Structure 1
């Protein structure tokens, strides 16, 4: 019988796409999730405060829409225009009506991300502390849909792709999980760098995520090939790749046309707008030392050759881990490699059937990602 081993390589791209970042609403009050309301304006939650804010577009004017919550977190918009808000540490989900009046919809443990089932009034909610997904009917009855497994990393973000496939993003371990209708889980990718993942959003073939701890934005295709596209060190600077800076980016939402992203910075409460998502690579932008990554053959049977170029000398580590993060093989451990092309053969001894993650680290930061497939 054929078995499969999927190895995922993580990298910070040597050439970033020419996306452009602009601050459209400084000091907006929003630090957390973002969604669009029925009128095409933004609604944003302030996890550090008690309010939900409305951001008028295109001008960016911010005002309080509804107040009086513990820790406003994820949101979803019902078919009738009612806003549903997860009060994370308040252990409640609220219904907020267009006139800003509210009522408790349901009480549940640590609600965070919210999204409606497609063509349905059934609400899907993540329980961050409970490591589970719950389905909530319009009459407030709840059913646990999925729990544990890959969801054990604190599920928060939720998004659909263009064909209605649901994805979940874990806050603690940056895993993005593909959900099946029966509640079974498939790991798509673990976000690059380190630390926390804020929220996720889908646009034109990619899932975008906010790397809260490392102040970056990344995207992955639906095959699990992930790249950091924006962000350097902590800050609040507008511009393109290699220039733009974020300060704990958290909430993220795509415009209905899929060509613009809006991001909330947790530390500054600035609303950032990212345009030119389909932009071509910008010439000469090197965010990290690694480039020219290639795996051949791919897919492979017994062995494959990993090769990459270094634009400068760097300390390189390369390891392979299972889906629980346990080290399976250390290929390189902080070894100093000169500028130039480097090749390493990866074989199958010791790798049983299953999914693995291989991470390439340059000067202490995870910098390379690619999906390859081993066949038996």
Structure 2
């Protein structure tokens, strides 16, 4: 202008909040001062590619305010916008058998400098793996949906500074057969993705046969398809279950009282196809009532589709009674544990020093494979022997008794 202005002089900037001018008493025509202000560029500014600010200056003339015309300046972004969400996946272990736990770890991230919108991660777990909830996310993240074997995670907007670690726990089920299969995870976003090579990842889980040998279950399949009739094959020539006369199994709580027959073991394990409603002693384990682990199986479902003698085996609890009858004596056992295990779990057949009874049946029929995924195992320890001449009763836990107290003939596995 052509007149002298009086201070104080100020600047108003539509972007800044810290405007500052040096103390100046007057400004003659042609004179100037430098005022400062600052503004932090936002993600929105980067997304827009530029930022514009507008400022005005003010002073006094004759005691009245004088405001300058507004002046604007536009700054273009010097950094290219990059949107790059991604996902990686790992598995542990990479080689497993039926019954093993396999843990998958996902890492979801954004290596760009701009937000990725509507990020969705989908992980389709192979059918031979059962998902064990919950899916754990760290830090706590968006909701997780599990539908069948498909896991969906909706992360919404993922900022450049955000990342999550996702842990998925699975168990190999009865559908797990060699060689195995790949597990693929994919990521999608509504934003333009600068690098799609990291939008999916896969892990191959190798399935190996059970350590017990062969491709079939180590423990026999003690059940047929429920609610339908299964046609049985002819009994092979020369094949027969062993008869032990009056030897029978009683489970009072389940209203079970049935004969015990011997199921011989061959190279493929034990074939209980024709067991019907009897209890099958697995040859090679300790003979019932002798020291060791006597394993006895029974059908959960009969070939006619109806319930078998061991249908309610899982209802047994600690302390329930199981009785083996034979030779004018009653061998009384008490349940110590009931569990659901893999068909390949070798611990079911483990040796015991004292007389134990292990009852086994099937659980979890799978229509796809037409087989049972699990085995119900009820383990009982001998507590007393009752006969016409009197009875013997343990006075402490079986672990505290001398083994000779229980030893009838010799080591387990010998048949009379």
TM-score by length of 2: 0.21
Bigger share in helix:
2
More strand by share: 1
- Which structure has the larger Rg over C-alpha atoms? 2
